[in-house]
Amino acid sequence: MRITADNLTLRYGDTVALDALTVDLPAGSIYGLLGRNGSGKTSLLSLIAGHRRPTSGTLTVGGADPFENAAVMGGTAFVRDVVDATDAEPARAALRFAADLRPTFDLDYAHDLAGQFGLPLGKGVGGLSRGQKSALGVVLGLAARTPLTIFDEAYLGMDAPSRYLFYRLLLDDYVADPRTVILSTHLIEEVANLFEKVLVIDRGRLVAYDETDELRGRGVTVTGPAAAVDAFVAGRTVLGEQRLGGTRAATVYGRLDAADRARAADAGLDLGPVGLQDLFVHLTGSAAEPRAQEAHR
């Protein structure tokens, strides 16, 4: 289930949801998809899941066009923040329906997961709390065991213990049954250790795509006397800065080599790591688009 997009564009009337996005996602990894509200995350996932057709450009999943493609869609589990079941239907029936629909669905595993999340399977879906509905969606996604599994903010209704249980269960099952997983989330630092690779999109454009540790390593905070910081960051991509009196802290995008670090030490500068969430904020801030596009290039 390799995912390849080439100049992928999606428009809703005059609104450009995805703008000539090009990316290649090899099979068998856990991908983090990050972006602000309205950045195009759900639009991209809807295209990958075969629910929409792009305005222009190409998209293949497993080498085929996913749009209304039964073979591709049958191998894709797309879990959103709502459960695809009627309110009167008991949660247990939703599991049975999924098992009837998907040959890969593990009903025994689904019941085990439901027990771990404390789901009342005899209760109607409409009577479940928001957290329970999120847990039901997560159970459906994990137990589907499809070659491609997508979680689009599906677990935000859960409380912290339930979310951390989900992260553990996902990782355990991924190790036991490797597949391609995409998680779209705003809880970046909480779930970042799950990601093998990260995509950051902003206003429909890809601004960063790399292995998680590699991406983290590209953000460095340089702190020290303003003049020394100015000299050190000259010609670099500066994502943000703060000044206090004669001290400046600048966040730069780009890996520093040994010579850079030696130069910083000689200038009396402190070099600090940038968390993935902080780096995301810098890359997608309202004033950051030109710098983010430069960073991606």
Tens of pLDDT, residue by residue over 66-91, are 998 999 999 999 998 778 777 888 99
Task: Determine the average pLDDT of the residues in 234-255.
Answer: 90
State the CATH number of the domain containing residue 59: 3.40.50.300
For residue 84, the enclosing domain spans 3-213
Regarding whether 251 and 186 lie in a shared domain, the answer is no
- Domain end call among 162, 178, 213: 213
Give CA–CA dist 58/55, Å, rounded.
Answer: 9
Reply yes or no on whether the pLDDT at 295 is more than 60. Answer: no
Q: Are residues 224 and 153 in the same domain?
A: no
In whole angstroms, what is the distance from residue 114 CA to residue 116 CA?
5
Indicate if the pLDDT at residue 131 is higher than 70. Answer: yes
Question: pLDDT tens, 93-117?
Answer: 999 999 998 999 999 999 999 999 9
The domain total for the chain is 2
Query: Which tokens belong to 65?
Result: 């066009």
Question: pLDDT per residue over 161-182, tens digit each?
Answer: 999 999 999 999 999 999 999 9
Indicate if 78 and 17 belong to the same structural domain: yes
- Averaged pLDDT for residues 189-210: 91
CATH of the domain at 232: 3.30.70
What does the alpha-carbon distance between residue 142 and residue 130 come to, in Å, rounded to a whole number?
19
